[in-house]
Amino acid sequence: MTIDLVDVSITSPGRNFVTLKITTSDGIVGWGDATLNGRELAVAAYLSEHVASMLIGRDEDRIEDTWQYLYRGPYWRRGPVTMAAIAAVDMALWDIKAKKAGMPLYQLLGGASREGVRVYAHASGTDYAALQNAITGYQELGYTAVRVQTGVPGLGQIYGVSSSGPGVRYDYEPAKRSGDRPSEETWDTRNYLSHMPGVFARIREDFGTDLRILHDGHHRMSPIEAARFAKEIEPYDLFWLEDCTPGEDQTALRLVRQHSTTPLAIGEVFNSVFDYQTLITERLIDYVRSAVTHTGGITAMKKLLDFAAIYGIKSGIHGPTDISPVGMAAALHLDLAIHNFGIQEYMPHNAQTLEVFQTSFTFDQGFLHPSEQPGLGVELDEDAAAAHEYTKAYLPVNRLLDGTIHDW
C-alpha cells in the first residue's frame, strides 16, 4: 500500500494546533502533531508546500526510510520548523502501522514496562498562599508530583505563573493572543534568587518529604548564578531543576554540576540528538526534556532516549498545552514502553480542545495510561476543528528591569 493523501489542518480551540493527516491507498488514516508555538503557519507551510508531494506514493510502512528521506534528503537539517514537520509525518506513520497491526502503539515499541505513566502538574500562584492552594488542589486530584512556579516580589506577571484566582486553574497558557507582537514581561535574577529558596523551604514544611517538587528556571540564570542556586536548594530535595541556563550552551552545565547534586533537566527547545551530545556523554543532566513533536517524532525520540539510557539519564518529555493531544499520546506510548522513563509533564487541554481531538488516554491517581485503542488512540474531528479559525498568538518576551532583552 502507499500514501495517497496528505492534509494539513490548523485549528484554534482556545489555542492553535497544526495537525497532519496521512491517508493510505486502502483508507487507513494516521495523525501527527506539527504544532510549534507562535510559529504554527511556518510548519504548516513547510509541510503542505514542500513535504506533502514528497510523500505521495511512498510505502507507508517504511518509517525509518521516510524519516531519513526527510532529514538527510533535503540537505538543510534540523531546526524547530523542519523537525516539527518530520515529527508529524513520523507520528502519523506510526499511528497507521499500529492501526494496521490492531495494537496500541506502545506494543510495537516493545510493550509496557510499567502499569502507568507518572505525571507532574503545574502548580503556580502569584504569592505563597495561592501556590499552596494550587499544590493542595493537585494533591486532592491524586497528583504525586508538581512543578512549582510563583511570583517574585518586585516583579509583575511572570511567565509560568497563573494569574487566575484560587480554584480556577493553577496553570497557564503559554501563548498569548496579544495582537501583532508579543506581550512583554520583566525579570530580575537577584530578586528571584533571594526569593525562591524560602518558597521551597515552606513547601517542604507544609507538604512533607513525599511530594515530588519540580521547578523551571526558564533559561534565565547565568552558569554561576545557576550553580549557586542549585547548591542552595539541595536541602529541599527537588525532583529536578529545569532549564537553569540558556539551552544552546551545553558546557554551561559543567559549572552547575561541579557545585551541586540538584538533578538537572533540559531540552524543551532542542530539536535533535546533537543538542544533547555533550550533555549526555558528560552526564551533565539527569532528564531529557524534548517534546516528541519538536524532535522528529517517535523514531528520533526513541533513539535519543536509548542513547540517554546508556548514561543513566531518564526521560521527562515536554507536555504543555502547546503539544496537541496527538503529540501527548505519542509521548505516553513511549513513556510506557521505554525502560528509562522518569516522569511526564501533563497540562490538561481545555474542554474545547478535547471536543476537537477525541482522546482515549486516561488519568488515574497521578498516572496516565495511553489507552488500548489501536494506533495512537487520538482522532481529529475535522468538522469540529474547522469551526475554530487560526488566531495569531505569541510567547511573551522577557526584559530586565532596565529594558535589556533577557533569556527565558
Pick one of 60, 268, 275, 335: the residue that binds ligand CS2 (CB under 6 A).
Answer: 268
Dist CA 256 CA 259 (whole Å): 5
The conformation of residue 280, written as its DSSP 8-state character, comes to: H
List binders of Mg ion among 154-173 (CB under 5 A).
Answer: none
Give the binding-site size for ligand CS2 (rule: CB under 6 A).
9
Write the interaction track for ligand CS2 spanning residues 343-362; mark x where CB under 6 A is met and - where it is not: --x-----------------
Which of the choices ligand CS2, Mg ion, none does residue 219 contact, using the CB cut-off of 5 to 8 A by kind?
A: none
Cα separation, 216 vs 212, in Å, equals: 14
Residues numbered 128 to 147 that lie near Mg ion (CB under 5 A) are none
Footprint (CB under 5 A) of Mg ion, residues 265-284: 268
Nearest to ligand CS2 of 30, 174 (CB atom):
174
282 DSSP 8-state letter:
T
Quote the DSSP letter at residue 46: I
CB atoms within 10 A of CB 179: 10
Residue 95 interacts, among ligand CS2, Mg ion, none and using kind-specific CB cut-offs from 5 to 8 Å, with none
Is 81 in contact with 43 (CB distance < 8 Å)?
Answer: yes
Give the CA-trace dihedral at 235, 236, 240, 245, to 10 degrees. -70
19 to 38, contacts with ligand CS2 by CB under 6 A? 37
Q: 380: part of which helix (H) or strand (E)?
A: strand 378-380
Residue nearer to ligand CS2 on the CB measure, 269 or 309: 269
Which of 216, 286, 335, 407 is close enough to bind Mg ion by CB under 5 A?
216
The mark string for 153-182 relative to ligand CS2 (x by CB under 6 A, - otherwise) is ---------------------x--------
Of 296 and 320, CB closest to Mg ion = 320
**Residue 242: which residues within 8 A CB-CB, separation 6 or more?**
147, 214, 215, 216, 217, 218, 264, 265, 266, 268, 289, 316
Cβ nearer to ligand CS2, comparing 40 with 268:
268
Rounded to the nearest whole angstrom, what is the least distance from the CB of residue 238 to Mg ion in the complex? 14
Q: Which stretch binds ligand CS2 (CB under 6 A): 21-29, 42-50, 315-323, 331-339?
A: 315-323
Phi, psi for 54 (deg, rounded to 5): -70, -20
Joined together, the cell numbers standing for residue 396 give 511573551
Query: Among 106, 138, 143, 159, which one carries the catalytic annotation?
Result: 159
User: Of Mg ion, ligand CS2, none, which one sits near residue 174, judging by CB under 5 to 8 A according to partner kind?
Assistant: ligand CS2
Q: What angle do CA 134, 138, 139 make, to 5 degrees?
A: 115
Q: How many CA atoms lie within 13 A of 103 on its CB side?
A: 13
Listed ranges 83-91, 215-223, 244-252, 348-356: which one lies at the site for Mg ion (CB under 5 A): 215-223
Q: Which helix (H) or strand (E) holds 97?
A: helix 80-101
Contact 264, 233 (CB under 8 A): no
Q: Which of 32, 246, 320, 396 forms a contact with ligand CS2 (CB under 6 A)?
A: 320
Binding flag, residue 216, ligand CS2 (CB under 6 A):
yes
* 322: contact with ligand CS2 by CB under 6 A: yes
- Which is the catalytic residue, given 122, 218, 333, 406? 218
Position 225 contacts Mg ion (CB under 5 A):
no
State the binding partner of 171 from ligand CS2, Mg ion, none, CB within 5 to 8 A by kind: none
111 CB-near residues (< 8 Å, 6+ apart)? 337
259 classed as catalytic: no
The Cβ-side half-sphere exposure at 98, using a 13 Å CA radius, reads 28
SS3 state at 31: strand
Size, binding site for Mg ion by CB under 5 A: 2
Comparing CA positions, the residue from 228, 230, 264 lying closest to residue 247 is: 264
d(CA 177, CA 392): 6
How far is it, in rounded angstroms, from Cα 375 to Cα 94? 7
Which residue lies nearer to ligand CS2 by CB, 32 or 174? 174
Is the Cβ of residue 38 or residue 374 nearer to ligand CS2 in the bound state? 38
Q: Are 1 and 21 in contact (CB under 8 A)?
A: no
Active site residue 406: no
- Please identify, using beta-carbon distances, which residue of 60 and 216 lies nearer to ligand CS2: 216
DSSP state of 300: H
Q: Which is nearer to ligand CS2, 98 or 241 (CB)?
A: 241
Q: Is position 322 an interface residue for Mg ion (rule: CB under 5 A)?
A: no
What residues make contact with Mg ion under the rule CB under 5 A? Answer: 216, 268
What residues make contact with ligand CS2 under the rule CB under 6 A? Answer: 37, 174, 216, 268, 318, 320, 322, 345, 395
Q: Annotated catalytic sites, by residue?
A: 159, 218
